[in-house]
Amino acid sequence: MAIDLLKRGKKVIILGRSEDTLSSVSNEIGATGYYVLDTGDVSSISPFISKITTDLLFFGYLVQWLARLWKLPSNSQLSNPNKLGSTASAGARSHV
């Protein structure tokens, strides 16, 4: 699925528990980044989801605010968050 999305020009962030494997796969397929999260540790999933959701909402707001502040045209890369990669960090280690 990740490779198909990349072929369509989308930015992809992968998730897994082994940083070595994630780093290798991320580089191999050209992913935007990755998050290290052991999904077997059920107690870490809810904080991860909460943190990444907050980060992504903040990032989207920040992009729109900066676009208005800088009076960028609506077709500019900065004013369209779908064209940008996320720099959000979560409770898990991130490499985005």
**Which of 13-17, 20-24, 47-51, 71-75 is modeled with the greatest confidence?**
20-24
Average per-residue pLDDT for the chain: 77
Examine the pLDDT at 84 and tell me if it is beyond 80.
no
Examine the pLDDT at 36 and tell me if it is beyond 90.
no
Q: Could you tell me where the DSSP H helices lie in the chain?
A: 2-7, 19-29, 42-69
Given CA atoms 69, 63, 94, 82 in this order, what sign does their dihedral have? negative
- % of the chain beyond a pLDDT of 90: 19
Domain residue spans of the chain: 2-95
- For residues 20-58, one letter each, b for 16 or more C-beta atoms within 10 angstroms of the residue's C-beta and e for the rest, the string is eebeeebeeeebbbbbbbeeeeeeeeeebeebbeebeee
Examine the pLDDT at 83 and tell me if it is beyond 90.
no
Examine the pLDDT at 79 and tell me if it is beyond 50.
no
Q: What is the pTM of this model?
A: 0.55
Residue 80's alpha-carbon distances to 60, 93, 96, in angstroms, are 9, 26, 18
Examine the pLDDT at 21 and tell me if it is beyond 90.
yes
82: tokens are 């779908």
